[in-house]
Amino acid sequence: MYKLSPEEFAFFSDQIGITDEEELKNHIVSVVSQAYEVFPKYRCVRDFGFLRMNMSHLPAYPQFLSLSRERKDAIMLDIGCCFGVDVRKALVDGFPAHNVIASDLRPEYWQLGHALFRSTPKSLPAAFIPGDAFDDSIINLSGPAEGPGDVALATVQKSLNPLKGSIAVIHAASLFHLFGEEAQLELARKLGTLLSSQPGSMILGGQRGSEVAEIAFNALRSENSYCHSPESWKSLWDGIVFPRGTVKVECQLRSRNSEPGELIRSSYLLWSVTRI
């Protein structure tokens, strides 16, 4: 359902340049209609979930902002960025655009983000890398060959592999719950190879979760997915993806209402993984 809180209206009105509520709604709905033609099944699109600016509501968001102030060369990756709403919110909150990379399986969504915000690659100089994170040409499982190095983001156009060990912040929203348990582990390991080894570097996000980790049928995709619990999610990162004791994993399980055609779960897992 289309609905904007006062905070959301202020953000989108300012960023898009439309102050009339009805005109703003019509503009946003028009872009969503175009997104339906690309792929109509993502819940964040069909119920206007992308309007929520979810990254800014994560418990670890203040930590992210502190890192961006303290580490001037910090690179941020938004994986599964969709329209780039969270990227733009991060920029408004002070993260430098020239240090931001966005990536999505469907480049049409990033282009529609420009239509939504009436922006251009020149006015929004964040790098965009289209592709499937499970494709080794985008991210492979090998670690950094010689540790982090100086990488000019403007030269990184087709792969995230040149950024191994160089990314300070990775944001993954509503992404992991699309896949089964083994695929989630593979994705976590791949993202782990990108993360800087510098203490404070972090991966944060949110997805559907459960009090008890288990398989759940995703009617929307007609296939099984996997719901992690806070305990299983912590064990995944601290001990499997990263050596035990080298990261701090924080999780919160928050209640939400289920809807027809969704995973039959009523909880959302908010989390962060931080290098110690």
% of the chain exceeding 90 in pLDDT:
80
Enter the CATH code of domain 52-275: 3.40.50.150
Mean pLDDT, range 131-148, rounded to an integer: 84
Per-residue pLDDT at 46: 80
Taking only the tens place, the pLDDT of each residue in 55-80 is 999 999 999 999 999 998 999 999 99
Taking only the tens place, the pLDDT of each residue in 171-199 is 999 999 999 999 999 999 999 999 999 99
- How do the domains of the chain map onto residue ranges? 52-275
Mean pLDDT, range 210-233, rounded to an integer: 86
Choice between 46 and 84, residue whose per-residue pLDDT is larger: 84
Task: Give the confidence band of 224 by pLDDT, cuts at 50, 70, 90.
Answer: confident
Contacts of 44 (CB under 8 A, 6+ apart): 50, 82, 174
For the four alpha carbons of 50, 15, 3 and 38, in that order, the dihedral sign comes to negative
d(CA 58, CA 103): 20
Taking only the tens place, the pLDDT of each residue in 253-262 is 998 755 444 4
127-130, Cβ contacts within 8 angstroms, sequence gap of 24 or more: 127/100, 127/101, 127/102, 127/153, 127/154, 127/156, 127/157, 128/81, 128/101, 128/102, 128/103, 128/104, 129/101, 129/102, 129/103, 129/156, 129/157, 129/158, 129/159, 129/160, 130/103, 130/104, 130/105, 130/106
